[in-house]
Amino acid sequence: MPSTREQLRRMVTEREAPPRGFSWDALMEVLAQLEAAAVSGALPLEAEDVRVLADLVARRGRVPLHGAVAVPHCMPPEEVIQYRALKALEAAERLDCVRELLPRVGREADSPALRDLVRQLQSS
Amino acid sequence: MHTEEPLAVYSLNFDRGDTSSGAIPLWDPVTDTRLGALPEWIRGHREEPVAYVRGSRPSVGVTLLANHFVPTTFDLSAFGPGLGEGGTVRWVGPHPVTLERTAGWSTLPEPVAFNRPLPNRIGVHTLELQWFAEWTDGHGTARRLFLGDTRHELHTSGAPMEHGVPGAPPVGAYAPLMRWSSRWCAGLEGRKAVCDALLQGLAETRLRYGLPAWSVRHMLLAGGGMCGGWYQLFQQLANCQGVAVEGRTLHLVPLHDPSTDEVRWEAMVAAAPGINQVEPARQTRFLGWFNDCARYPFTPDEPVELLGRQDSRYCFFAGWDDGHSVNFLEDGGRLYLYDPSFRTQAVALDMPMPEPDGQPVALGQESPLRRDYLNQAMPWVMGTLRANGRLWEVDVARGAFGLTVRTEQVPELGILWTR
């Protein structure tokens, strides 16, 4: 069975999401791994991973999910996904992939934290 | 419209979408449109609230409806109560009017300014006006024609608000917020007094904590929201009175010990149901078996009494993904924390305003934030810990809540702040 990371890559390249959707916890784990890898700088993110992160931002964090979805207290789940994808892209120094999406993300965000992050990224 | 009336006030428009109107734009959260996009008062059809900064002198766009022969020139006046001064006063006019037509609608070319300012205090006022046309006929006799009553729900705020606050309408405020804010803060002076009144009034909104909504408009429609919505609601309520409060989200920083696989800590845990709830909300609570430790700290080899219980609690998980959002006010050289989700009293804190820089901070047991707020608001922290010969893991999807220890017993707690 393909890993969540592979399923995400396939969702971007073949526009095919897993039939049952993603597990929220697995999705968060992949985003944490990508961010940790980018922060450590041990291995640059592969181009496919960068495309996955950019795609998550482009699709406004809306991905099919199954099972119990945690309800974050401080921002909507879709914005958690965008927040984490942007943090990973920032750490990987690949914000160029989403630069033109940032104004829209900042405009549409309900969460002050995501708006603040976008503001910082736009001025960086 | 009574057909027998030869001439009547048909509509009145206060917020005309320009700064010269002086009105605070109010918005309908259902349609997300400005109430002033249409006249706020339309005879027999519409009666919407209007708002001004206290002491303002309003002006109003007037449309008259003529049914048959009326004088083409007259003076327009409106009389009403003095709003605190007693008696009846002339709020409008005499304002010279020349009708373009004597049958049908005539909108006066310029807004008509009120003669006097509104009360110089925060409050809600009912202004009932009686409108008259006055002229002198061809025989030199003074004539007076009653043009109808109008009734206005008028809000006066404490100070000019900041427009375009994120999450709020582009200008002005959602009407329910202005209504609540000006009523709860009526007659008050001072930023702290305003914020205290707002916090204590929140229960009247009947909005509930723990519903999955994170923006003010969504909360107003859904009937409640998460702390990420509540702190924005509180900010916007204060902004209605021209008081700026800061919003901050408190995140827990987890520390993983690879030698033991323990994680300190994975979540802050609250058992209070939140505002306008009698028990934690079904949509967002965690229901299951919690292992509360009788004491902490302890070593993995020490026996620890576990006070296990079936309970429903809120879990605020560590990391960027989750956190608890609150408000801060700086006033008179002091910092006050306002937690609209869980508290009805401000908490004075002997600390500077936290920077929303995302940098980890270690809080000792005597830190003011923990001592005066966090230990009570989040009475437990949840971790993956070793105790009584086994590893108690946190896996909420499987209903495993690790071990929960009293926040006040934790020697050091890692947190960070975002906006």
Q: B162, exposed or middle or buried, with CB in 10 Å at 0-12, 13-18, 19+?
A: exposed
Do B226 and A72 count as a contact with CB atoms less than 8 A apart? Answer: yes
Q: Flag whether B37 is in a domain.
A: yes
CA angle A12, A15, A21 (to 5 degrees): 90
Q: For residue B212, which residues of chain A lie inside 8 Å, CB to CB?
A: 71, 76
Do A71 and B226 count as a contact with CB atoms less than 8 A apart? Answer: yes
Boundary of a domain, candidates B139, B157, B175: B157
Q: Output the six-digit token pair for B284.
A: 């967002």
Tens of pLDDT, residue by residue, chain B (419 residues): 455 688 999 999 999 998 889 999 999 999 999 999 999 999 999 999 999 999 999 999 999 998 876 788 999 999 999 887 778 999 998 999 998 877 889 999 999 999 999 999 999 999 999 999 999 988 999 999 999 999 999 999 999 999 988 889 999 999 999 999 999 999 999 999 999 999 999 999 999 999 999 999 999 999 999 999 999 999 999 999 999 999 999 999 999 999 999 999 999 999 999 999 999 999 889 999 999 999 999 988 888 999 999 999 999 999 888 999 999 999 999 999 999 999 999 999 999 999 999 999 999 999 999 999 999 999 999 999 999 889 999 988 888 999 999 999 999 999 999 99
pLDDT at B331 (0 to 100): 96
Q: Flag whether B193 is in a domain.
A: no
Do A111 and B228 count as a contact with CB atoms less than 8 A apart? Answer: yes
Whether the predicted interface score ipTM is above 0.95:
no
Question: Rounded to 5, what percent of chain B is helix, strand, coil?
Answer: 15, 40, 40
Provide mean pLDDT across the span A61-82.
87
Residues B264 and B391 in one domain: yes
Q: For residue A75, which residues of chain B lie inside 8 Å, CB to CB?
A: 214, 228
Which DSSP state fits B114? B
Q: Nearest CB to A75: which of B214, B283, B316?
A: B214
In this structure, how many other beta carbons lie within 10 angstroms of the beta carbon of residue A100? 9
Confidence of residue A24 (pLDDT cuts 50, 70, 90): confident
Dihedral over Cα of A43, A44, A47, A48: its sign: positive
Cα gap B149→B230, rounded to integer Å: 40
Contact B232, B419 (CB under 8 A): no
Contact A89, A54 (CB under 8 A): yes
CA angle A86, A87, A88 (to 5 degrees): 90
Do B249 and A74 count as a contact with CB atoms less than 8 A apart? Answer: yes
Judged by DSSP in three states, A35 sits in helix
Q: Flag whether B328 is in a domain.
A: no
Residue whose pair of structure tokens reads 């482009």 in the numeric block:
A58
- Give B301 to chain A, closest Cα distance, Å: 31
Q: Output the six-digit token pair for B129.
A: 């006006």
Phi then psi for residue B222, to 5 deg, are: -85, -20
Distances (CA, A) of B163 to A20, B31, B56, B239, B244: 44, 19, 18, 9, 11
Q: Flag whether B272 is in a domain.
A: yes
Q: For residue A29, which residues of chain B lie inside 8 Å, CB to CB?
A: none
Do A116 and B418 count as a contact with CB atoms less than 8 A apart? Answer: yes
Residues of A with a Cβ under 8 Å from any B Cβ are 25, 28, 32, 67-68, 70-76, 79-80, 83-84, 87, 109-113, 115-116
Boundary of a domain, candidates B94, B127, B157: B157
How many contacts, defined by CB atoms under 8 Å, are there between A and B?
75
Q: Nearest CB to A110: which of B215, B321, B418?
A: B215
pLDDT at B3 (0 to 100): 55
Residues B288 and B408 in one domain: yes
Task: Give the domain extent around B284.
Answer: 251-322+355-418
Q: Could you tell me whether strands B394-395 and B400-401 are parallel, antiparallel, or unpaired per DSSP bridges? A: antiparallel
Boundary of a domain, candidates B131, B157, B183: B157
pLDDT at B161 (0 to 100): 96
Cα gap B145→B131, rounded to integer Å: 9
Burial letters for B323-336: b for 16+ Cβ neighbours within 10 Å, e otherwise? bbbbbbbebeeebb
Q: Flag whether B205 is in a domain.
A: no
Cα gap B205→B197, rounded to integer Å: 13
Q: Flag whether B1 is in a domain.
A: no
pLDDT at B138 (0 to 100): 85
Structural domains of chain B, count: 2
Contact B328, B245 (CB under 8 A): yes
